[in-house]
Structure 1
Amino acid sequence: MSDVLVTLPAEMRGELKEPMGPIFTDAERLLDAAGDPLVAVGDVVTYHLERAGVLPDVAVVDGLTKREEVADDVAEGVARLGGETREVRVENPAGTVSRGLVEALRDAISDPEPTLLVVEGEEDLVTLPAIVAAPLGASVVYGQPDEGMVLADVTDESKAEMRDLLSRMEGDSDALFEILDAA
């Protein structure tokens, strides 16, 4: 059981299309601008960081890109990280944020050991709770389909914006914030 906390309503989908920061096509440039800790959301983003020689503090992957299985080279790059990180498997259905995902994300961000969160389902919404959970000064990197990698800086403003989005989703956002705030 995935124990879904919140679900993205159809009428909010458009709000998540705009990038939450600058878009980079070069991993090295992105890394020059990134804060610490670094949270990577998505297989392709994680692959590009791994290719640039960087082990993200937290990487969240689901084996998919644009709802299709990732290419073999991407899967192999992500698998290489598995040998260098603590690996945690969680369930998270598409279009939702589950209790297991939020708890694992909170624990991974506070753990000094790099963590690979492998999601059964989809990680498409994890950027929102990741920004809420990460400390000020951190960076959350995620993919913008067909454009590049978005660098979202964790600031008081970005945390407030993500809390607002999450609170307007269907479900129990209070329970979600309780988990994230327990870090």
Structure 2
Amino acid sequence: MTREPDRDRNSSPDDAADQPLLSLPTDLRDELKEPFGPIETDAEELLERAGTPIIAVGDMVTYHLRTAGTAPDVSVVDGQTERQAVDAEIREAVTTETALSVEISNPPAVLTEALVLALVDALERPEPTTIVVDGEEDLAALPAIVAAPDGASVVYGQPGEGMVHVTVTETVREEVRALLERFEGDRERLWTLLS
């Protein structure tokens, strides 16, 4: 089943949810290469230490967690890994084995309102949800960390190394908030959506 994310967070019909809400400044790109948690290479070991809910950002991360026997509570996928299309088998595995699927647009190096709303809505749902992004999902881990409850696990890919496992705490959340404050765009709207 596919549905659009709810638009009940003080939005108006004129809101352009697919337009960039925040853009990544060039000078922050290197900082984002530093992982927010330990890098794991074994999905089963990661899952033994994972809290709930589990939010997976990336096709390969989602695939490895599902192959290890656990469907993430929220998956964010875009059909690519390291700027290359994923195999059809992986694409099918990460987009078809879920209770609910939401399709949104999110261009590279930005966060759209549609992506942030879809994350928040997915975290409120009891059933596993896959957010299928037309564009790029690379920055989705940031609002996911802010929106997720303490103890949740946000897992995203670290190119060429493995999966970064972030256990959400207030300390990590504040670190990510400080980073997002340095993005360009409507930060006030972002905090409204994430509150």
Equivalents in 1 of 2:174, 2:153: separation in Å? 15
Aligned identity (percent) is 54
Equivalents in 2 of 1:79, 1:137: separation in Å? 26
Residues 95, 130 of structure 2: 8 Å contact kept: no
Which among 67, 70, 74 is matched to residue 90 of structure 2?
74
Which among 27, 30, 33 is matched to residue 17 of structure 1?
33
- 1:59 partner SS: strand
Q: 1:124-148, CA deviations, whole angstroms, 9 ceiling, x for partnerless residues?
A: 0000000000001101000001100
Residues 95, 132 of structure 2: 8 Å contact kept: no
Match of 2:186 in 1: 172
Equivalents in 2 of 1:142, 1:4: separation in Å? 22
Unaligned runs of 5+ in 2: 1-15
The alignment's TM-score, normalised by the length of structure 2, stands at: 0.89
- 2:30 partner SS: helix
RMSD over equivalenced CA pairs, Å: 0.9
Q: Partner amino acid for 2:41?
A: T
Q: In the alignment, is residue 126 of structure 1 matched against residue 140 of structure 2?
A: yes
Q: Partner amino acid for 2:157?
A: G
Q: Partner amino acid for 1:92?
A: N
The alignment's TM-score, normalised by the length of structure 1, stands at: 0.95
Q: CA deviation at 1:174?
A: 1.0
Matches of residues 143-162 of structure 1 in structure 2 within 5 Å?
Answer: 143-162=157-176
Q: In the alignment, is residue 61 of structure 1 matched against residue 77 of structure 2?
A: yes
Which among 107, 113, 126 is matched to residue 99 of structure 1?
113
Matches of residues 18-57 of structure 1 in structure 2 within 5 Å?
Answer: 18-57=34-73
Q: CA deviation at 1:73?
A: 2.8
Equivalents in 2 of 1:80, 1:32: separation in Å? 25
Match of 1:138 in 2: 152
Equivalents in 2 of 1:96, 1:12: separation in Å? 12
Which segments of structure 1 move beyond 4 Å, counting only runs of 4 or more? none
Equivalents in 1 of 2:178, 2:188: separation in Å? 12
Aligned residues: 179
Which among 100, 108, 111 is matched to residue 122 of structure 2?
108
Match of 1:87 in 2: 101
Equivalents in 2 of 1:41, 1:156: separation in Å? 20
Range moving further from structure 2, 126-135 or 69-78? 69-78
Equivalents in 2 of 1:69, 1:98: separation in Å? 22
Unaligned runs of 5+ in 1: none
